[in-house]
């Protein structure tokens, strides 16, 4: 009998994490739900059959919490971890000169350090599970840099490079390392208000004429990412266009970045 596969998901309390948890559970996978938002995790768990999930309060900025959460998940999942989905992230924006230093640090700690800590803690378990995959959520912001998103973009470019490096480094261990590069997805992250503005991120996105894609689109691409051979999986029309333009017509990417900046200035 084929052993039940398992996936550990950070940021599982809402948005992409919740949708991915529901999709994998529907296919019979055991799902580890991890987040700092315990109430949100319980809401996600309520949509998954009993006995098919475990709950883990996890602040991805804390190495010890990573160690303890993955050890508990490993036992609950029957000593296998087919996928570690490094999905937790936060969206913060605003002019660099205006954002509080502690907000910059928070973005770096969650979006980049949290991914690194997860990979280091998860390596032991991924190595013991044949055909395993580390999946990191990057972003279309890892393809181009837009004004008002400098620190956020920096973390996503870094996750992109981190993914490429580890995919080579861990190949001999039989671990695939992949990234998702979504364009703007309809999740609570778009409801954040920039530090130097009174408008939500989704207002800027809409004004710039960019796509806001449904979460269901990401779920489809998660399966493609873990089962396919591409290191990076772009999600949404804008992400795919930007990837193409960044390679063959970088001036168009710069023009689009200025369009987003101009929209943000009008809304601010």
CATH of 6-188+211-236, one of 3.40.50.720, 3.30.9.10, 3.40.50.1110, 3.40.50.150: 3.40.50.720
For the ranges 27-41, 50-64, 206-220, the lowest mean pLDDT is seen at: 206-220
pLDDT tens readout for residues 79-122: 999 999 999 998 877 788 988 999 999 999 999 999 999 999 99
pLDDT tens readout for residues 7-30: 999 999 998 999 999 999 999 999
Between CA 94 and CA 97 the distance in angstroms is 8
178 SS3 class: strand
CB 238, CB 211: distance < 8 Å: yes
CB 201, CB 189: distance < 8 Å: yes
53 is catalytic: no
Query: pTM of the predicted model, to two decimals?
Result: 0.85
Mean pLDDT of 32-53: 97
Burial class (CB in 10 A: 0-12, 13-18, 19+), 217: middle
The active-site residue, picked from 117, 123, 125, 152, is: 152
CB 55, CB 45: distance < 8 Å: yes
């Amino acid at each position: 009998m084929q052993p039940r596969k398992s996936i550990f998901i950070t940021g599982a309390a809402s948005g992409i994490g919740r949708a991915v948890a529901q999709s994998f559970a529907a296919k019979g996978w055991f799902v580890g739900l991890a987040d700092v938002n315990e109430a949100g995790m319980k809401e996600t768990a309520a949509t998954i059959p009993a006995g098919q999930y475990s709950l883990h309060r996890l602040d991805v900025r804390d190495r010890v919490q990573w160690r303890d959460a993955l050890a508990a998940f490993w036992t609950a999942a029957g000593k296998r971890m087919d996928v570690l989905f490094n999905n937790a992230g936060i969206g913060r924006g605003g002019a660099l000169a205006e954002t509080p230093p502690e907000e910059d640090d928070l973005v770096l700690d969650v979006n980049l350090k949290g991914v690194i800590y997860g990979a280091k803690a998860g390596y032991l378990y991924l190595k013991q599970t044949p055909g395993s995959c580390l999946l990191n959520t990057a972003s279309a912001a890892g393809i181009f840099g837009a004004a008002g998103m400098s620190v956020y973009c920096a973390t996503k470019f870094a996750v992109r490079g981190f993914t490429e490096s580890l995919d080579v480094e861990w190949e001999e261990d039989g671990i695939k390392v992949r990234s998702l590069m979504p364009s703007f997805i309809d999740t609570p992250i778009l409801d954040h208000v920039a530090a130097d503005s009174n408008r939500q991120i989704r207002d800027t996105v809409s004004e710039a004429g960019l796509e806001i894609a449904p979460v269901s689109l990401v779920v489809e691409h998660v399966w493609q990412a873990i089962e396919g051979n591409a290191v990076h999986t772009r999600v949404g029309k804008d992400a795919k266009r930007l990837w193409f333009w960044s390679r063959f017509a970088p001036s168009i990417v710069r023009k689009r970045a200025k369009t987003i900046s101009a929209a943000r200035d009008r809304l601010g």
